[in-house]
Structure 1
Amino acid sequence: MSTLTFASVDDRAAGGKALRQRIPRSSQGGWRPLPDRRDPVEVLEEQAADRVPELVPIRYGRMLGSPFAFFRGAAALMAQDLAATPHSGLVVQLCGDAHLSNFGSFAAPDRRLVFSINDFDETLPGPFEWDVKRLAASFAVAGRDRGFSAKQRGAIIVSAVSAYRTTMRELAGKRRLDVWYARANIDKIEEEAASRIAPDEVKRMRRNIAKARAKDSVRAYSKMVEVVDGHPRLASRPPLVVPLRDLFPDIEQHRLEAAVDAILRSYRRSLQSAHRHLLGGFRFVETARKVGGVGSVGTRAWIVLMVGNDLFDPLFLQLKEAQPSVLERHLPRSAARNHGQRVVEGQRLMQPASDVLLGWVRSNGMDGATRDYYVRQLWDGKGSAMVDVMSAGSMVAYAEICGATLARAHARSGDAAEIGGYLGSGDKFDRALADFAEAYADQNEHDHAALRAAVDAGRVAAALA
């Protein structure tokens, strides 16, 4: 029998440290656009080409709201910019859009609320720095939006990156199963935050958590369904919620229902057998197109109402179109045959616990085009931090939570010892990314202004909704 050999934590950390000779941590700081950097509006319009035309102006209208709103919708722009920056070559499963508003709560299978990344539309393997830089830049942009001083923003950004670095180094010495199961429970976060932030912010945080706990299919039913002649119907609120019956009034109802039924049957095959059994206990009622978010506006997203034992036992699913990741222009293409599968498998790789009904499907639309979708529960304890009312002190605490969360997500697929070795025990990487984040926030403001100029000139149309 051959003897098993292992590279020790120290050896792997030394390998990461050696990478500093080729890519110094200080080189990760600052930002300067390349001379041939693409026009930001051109990049956004390229994305719009395969989106629902009447919804694209809503996307632009939302992005115009503020530089931070623009940043949320500009993952493709930042992907091209990150591709031009130095990186260590240490690869993890990337979120691809790791800004501060793409973290939040959701209900784990044991029904406890956990905190993690909650958006994986752009997920793909790539350099760990790309996610950390997008997270850092999002705090710089959001801090400006809140009117924080440069010193306050610097403290916030350094807190996020430092938490990432120290958590990664802590994870390097843990067993693989411990890394895999590591997660942040909302109860623990609430307890720790209560000792760090002002009493009024504690009350607001607790109200927000209570609101997240109440977000489930029963709550969605009370908000989105109207009963007509004893039958539940999804309420029409165009252009944000439009039932399928209204989108295609010339097609017989039974044909629409048959098309949706075929999609659901195909989706079921992506689930584990126990979860297929669970889904089999629900019957389809109706579906509608629903617009949400910022960056994804214009992609096709549907909600599906199903019922179990009776009308008081609802289930809401969301089918969201999965297009190629914005990272694929700059990294190797996904090995997944279906972009919905890419999203789901990336999510399962990065999250400590995932929705039991998470799955994917490929479908032929009413227009004859074939598209990929991923499927999840619409409301299942989902909540997000109230960034627009955070004080600087609260944002420091939130930045630490996000940074540590991102490190745990990356450590599930990457080598924590090697990454931790590169990052080191000092704050050189933290300070470099703080410089990058502020410089990139300047770029984001220029790009936001470019979109405003394009709307003012009539080059693109924007609408509020």
Structure 2
Amino acid sequence: MFPAAAGQPEVTDHHPGMKASTHSWIEPDQRSTVLIERRNLKMAQSAHAYVRGSTIRFYEWLEGSRRTSLPEGPGVWICGDCHVGNLGPVASAKGKLEIQIRDLDQTVIGNPAHDLIRLALSLATAARGSDLPGVTTARMLESMVAGYESAFEEEPEEEAGRRAPDPVRLLMQTAAKRSWKHLADERIEGIDPVIPLGRRFWPLRKEERRAVSELIGTEEMRRLVASIRSRDDEATITLADCAFWRKGCSSLGNLRVAALVAVHGETGKQPRYCLLDMKEAISAAAPRYADAVMPRNNAERVVEGGKHLSPHLGRRMLATRLLNKSVFVRELLPQDLKLEIERLDQEEAATMAHFLATVVGRAHARQMAAADRRRWFVELQKTRSKTLDAPSWLWKAVVELVSSHEAAYLEHCRRYAMQAEAA
């Protein structure tokens, strides 16, 4: 037994990471309460953070009357939660690096217009958080639509990286130089084969640790880890450590596990390590087309959507079961980074909007037959006004959503941030 920190419950299961952490840890039955509190405070940091964390509000808007006025695009796999933070550099199993969609929890076969609106809302709130004038938001939407449409004018598999704005190029250069040490320092605070319990990681129950160990021992997991470049196809793997991962807003109340795995190659050589993210898959809140044929298993849905939308990531994922729950597993690679936009200037805003929309457009276009691409392109060209070179339905949606989200953000701050200060 390890002694508990002052004011904290004792943890009776041995965990090697306890000795490395100076933070308090959380018992399993406390997870949901603490996660909800931290999510609410994180969403109170800015209107942009609120938009990223309030996906349900967006889906509720889509269910409202305005949804009927949106164009119906071809049925393709869409992200379902296409905000700026869900795009970034993603490495393939063979080492190729591209900007792709990096979060696929909400992926469904649905209307590609929904991804456009969600991305436009995210960019608009980022612009307002940067104190940019409203006309910049209008120009940014014009540039975003132009970038999206460009994916349907050219071959969908053609590279878009040549038009990447400076912040994206710098991020790609950083990603290309990263190694396992960078990932380990960020995620597990060093290269020792333990996961430190504390702010990011909490202890698992005995039965949870046992189930993770059994899953790591399966052939499907061995093949997934061995598929990454420069590894021996016949490599074996063993579990070094595992913990519950306090990560993101979408994991609340669901199973999320970090597994540190030793990869054993040639005899006599020290093992190499990798970090696996095991996440429970739940039903998507994003609206899907009624006639869409998708896997009924949610983990299989996420993996299948990933293969279509973000091939680098989708082909590195595995749908399986853990503790009788549907989960998808992926190895975190050092090159996988999130695109963070804290502030934009007027010149960057239009360039960034054009580039990100091109990435999303190519993810949609590669799934469409040539005739569907042409029809969707023609549809996007409609309903333009003399004063705005973007579809009127997109502009009206963004104006309505920005207004409702800013009001909801202020109310969120009143309810949660002020309560936390009082406490």
TM over 0.5: yes
Aligned counterparts of 1:395 and 1:296: Cα–Cα separation in 2: 31
Partner of 2:182: 219
- Asked if 2 retains the 8 angstrom alpha-carbon contact of 1:109 and 1:355, the reply is no
Q: Which has the higher contact order (CA 8 A, sep 6+)?
A: 1
TM value normalised by structure 1: 0.71
Alignment pair present for 1:147 and 2:102: no
Aligned counterparts of 1:380 and 1:334: Cα–Cα separation in 2: 34
Aligned counterparts of 1:282 and 1:462: Cα–Cα separation in 2: 47
Counterpart mapping for 1:27-66 below 5 A: 52-66=32-46
- Asked if 1 retains the 8 angstrom alpha-carbon contact of 2:224 and 2:318, the reply is no
Larger CA deviation: 394-403 vs 406-415: 406-415
- Asked if 2 retains the 8 angstrom alpha-carbon contact of 1:137 and 1:437, the reply is yes
2:238 to 256, 280, 283: 283
- Asked if 1 retains the 8 angstrom alpha-carbon contact of 2:110 and 2:292, the reply is no
Report the CA distance between 1:232 and its aligned residue.
Answer: 2.5
- Asked if 2 retains the 8 angstrom alpha-carbon contact of 1:52 and 1:298, the reply is yes
- Asked if 1 retains the 8 angstrom alpha-carbon contact of 2:176 and 2:335, the reply is yes
Larger CA deviation: 389-398 vs 149-158: 389-398
Alignment pair present for 1:354 and 2:324: no
2:104 to 120, 123, 136: 120
Count the aligned residue pairs: 375
- Asked if 2 retains the 8 angstrom alpha-carbon contact of 1:106 and 1:115, the reply is yes
Aligned counterparts of 1:397 and 1:52: Cα–Cα separation in 2: 40
Change (3 A) 1:283 1:273: closer
Partner of 1:106: 90
- Asked if 2 retains the 8 angstrom alpha-carbon contact of 1:221 and 1:314, the reply is no
Change (3 A) 1:456 1:142: closer
Change (3 A) 1:349 1:205: closer
Report the CA distance between 1:425 and its aligned residue.
Answer: 7.4
Residues 128-187 of structure 1 deviation map (CA, whole Å, 9 limit, x = unaligned): 21111111111111110111100111111221122112322x14xx5xxxx3x44444xx
Partner of 2:72: 89
Report the CA distance between 1:58 and its aligned residue.
Answer: 1.0
Aligned counterparts of 1:322 and 1:120: Cα–Cα separation in 2: 10
Aligned counterparts of 1:315 and 1:337: Cα–Cα separation in 2: 30
Alignment pair present for 1:390 and 2:370: no
Q: Match of 1:455, as an amino acid? A: Y
Alignment pair present for 1:234 and 2:195: yes
Q: Match of 1:405, as an amino acid? A: V
SS of the residue corresponding to residue 351 of structure 2 reads helix
Change (3 A) 1:462 1:269: farther
Q: Match of 1:430, as an amino acid? A: A
Change (3 A) 1:336 1:395: same
- Asked if 2 retains the 8 angstrom alpha-carbon contact of 1:241 and 1:288, the reply is yes
Aligned counterparts of 2:421 and 2:113: Cα–Cα separation in 1: 33
Report the CA distance between 1:450 and its aligned residue.
Answer: 2.6
Partner of 2:412: 451
Q: Match of 1:53, as an amino acid? A: T
Aligned counterparts of 1:206 and 1:214: Cα–Cα separation in 2: 13
- Asked if 2 retains the 8 angstrom alpha-carbon contact of 1:114 and 1:184, the reply is no
Aligned counterparts of 1:279 and 1:119: Cα–Cα separation in 2: 30
Partner of 1:4: none
Aligned counterparts of 2:219 and 2:280: Cα–Cα separation in 1: 13
Partner of 2:22: none
- Asked if 2 retains the 8 angstrom alpha-carbon contact of 1:68 and 1:145, the reply is yes
Residues 206-235 of structure 1 deviation map (CA, whole Å, 9 limit, x = unaligned): 5533432244534323441557xxx72112
Residues 415-459 of structure 1 deviation map (CA, whole Å, 9 limit, x = unaligned): 21221121127845714223321331111111112322333686x
Report the CA distance between 1:256 and its aligned residue.
Answer: 5.6
SS of the residue corresponding to residue 353 of structure 1 reads helix
- Asked if 2 retains the 8 angstrom alpha-carbon contact of 1:270 and 1:359, the reply is no
Which consecutive residues of structure 1, in runs of 5 or more, have no partner in the other structure?
1-50, 194-201, 365-369
Partner of 1:70: 50
Report the CA distance between 1:239 and its aligned residue.
Answer: 3.4
Counterpart mapping for 1:394-433 below 5 A: 394-414=348-368, 415-424=372-381, 427-428=384-385, 430-432=390-392, 433=394
Alignment pair present for 1:438 and 2:399: yes
1:261 to 189, 194, 213: 213
Q: Match of 2:199, as an amino acid? A: P
Residues 297-317 of structure 1 deviation map (CA, whole Å, 9 limit, x = unaligned): 554322111122455621111
Partner of 1:40: none
- Asked if 1 retains the 8 angstrom alpha-carbon contact of 2:279 and 2:329, the reply is yes
- Asked if 2 retains the 8 angstrom alpha-carbon contact of 1:282 and 1:315, the reply is no
SS of the residue corresponding to residue 389 of structure 1 reads coil
1:307 to 262, 281, 304: 262
Report the CA distance between 1:279 and its aligned residue.
Answer: 8.1
TM value normalised by structure 2: 0.78
Aligned counterparts of 2:246 and 2:36: Cα–Cα separation in 1: 11
Larger CA deviation: 209-218 vs 411-420: 209-218
Residues 243-273 of structure 1 deviation map (CA, whole Å, 9 limit, x = unaligned): xxx343xx4xxx6654213223568279689
Residues 71-107 of structure 1 deviation map (CA, whole Å, 9 limit, x = unaligned): 0011121112113313333222110001122111111
SS of the residue corresponding to residue 165 of structure 1 reads helix
Counterpart mapping for 1:186-225 below 5 A: 188-190=162-164, 193=165, 202=166, 207-223=170-186, 224=188
- Asked if 1 retains the 8 angstrom alpha-carbon contact of 2:111 and 2:289, the reply is no
SS of the residue corresponding to residue 193 of structure 2 reads strand
Aligned counterparts of 2:78 and 2:40: Cα–Cα separation in 1: 26
Aligned counterparts of 2:184 and 2:172: Cα–Cα separation in 1: 20
